[in-house]
Structure 1
Amino acid sequence: MTCPFCAIVAGELEASVVAQTDAAVAFLDQRQAVPGHVLVVPRLHVEHIDAIDPVLAGEVMQLGVRVAQALRVAFDPPGLNLWQSNGAAGGQEVAHFHLHVQPRRVGDGLLRVYPHALPAPASREVLDDLAARLRLSLPPDGASPAPRSQP
């Protein structure tokens, strides 16, 4: 099966386009979790955030910011979510990198990121160890993403 977002970008599937640039397209999600739920996708097929070129990621984010500004004017929501999911465990349903931009209202029925009280703060030692591990794996600025390892 072909990627539905690539089909939208190619004009093969209908979509209610909000905005577009040379690099990205923003359109209304067919399943409006809340009124004004917009998806922002790169025109180029990229499956996950760890595979996207940093320049392209910036262009997608810039369009996401413009959409957020439009949502603020059009819907005057007291809150807004920018949501991005990767892999089945992360809740990704379409294997094409995309941002969800959603105007939010208290009690709108959308889930919270943390459904219960937050866990107690981790110790500085644990946090410093995690940061050190991540620093060792961090690609240099401007470097192409490393190939994604397959599970």
Structure 2
Amino acid sequence: MTCTFCEIISKNLPARIVKETEETLAFLDIDPIQKGHVLVIPKRHVPDLTDMTDVEMNQVMTLCKEVMSSLRTAYNPDSISIIQNNGECMAFPHVHFHVVPRFTGDGFVMREPEITVSDEEMDRVARELEKNML
């Protein structure tokens, strides 16, 4: 399967690039949530965030920060959301961060949780995750 983002990186597919470094790429999302919606990706094909090196993570987050600064100057948003997607089940199985300018009343919301978890279960989950932290 061909990776759309890798095709953009190799310039086989067009994109409106806002910044490119040796290791990262930022470009406009073709199906934006809001005007100025940017995707930030590592250039190395990485399907899952846990496969990124610490250096790659730092480079991608640095570019996210630069995009945020540019969005603030260009559009003066009320806030900025960063949404991270990764994993093989995603439409684009290449780690990517959505950097989205937000405005009061823009209508964008994350969907509400579909489950209820007891306090006891929340405590158990927190302990289990803490135990497995690197």
TM range (shorter): 0.7 to 0.9
- The residue number in structure 1 matching 2:84 is 84
Contact kept in structure 1, 2:47 and 2:88, CA below 8 Å: no
Taking only aligned residues, the RMSD between alpha carbons, in angstroms, comes to 2.1
User: Residue 128 of structure 2 aligns to which amino acid in structure 1?
Assistant: R
What is the distance in 1 between the residues matched to 2:35 and 2:6? 24
Change (3 A) 1:3 1:103: same
In structure 1, list runs of 5 or more residues that go unmatched.
140-151
Partner of 2:106: 108
- 3-state SS of 2:55 partner: helix
SS at match of 1:84: strand
Q: How many residues align?
A: 132
Structure 2-normalised TM-score? Answer: 0.86
Q: Residue in 1 aligned with 2:32? A: 32
State how 1:1-150 maps to structure 2 within 5 Å. 1-87=1-87, 92-110=90-108, 112-115=109-112, 123=119, 126-139=121-134
Q: Mark the runs of 5 or more structure 2 residues left unpaired by the alignment.
A: none
The CA distance in 2 between the partners of 1:135 and 1:109, in whole Å, is: 35
Q: Percent of pairs identical after alignment?
A: 36
TM-score by structure 1 length? 0.77
**C-alpha spacing 1:44/1:88, structure 2 compared with 1 (3 Å):** closer
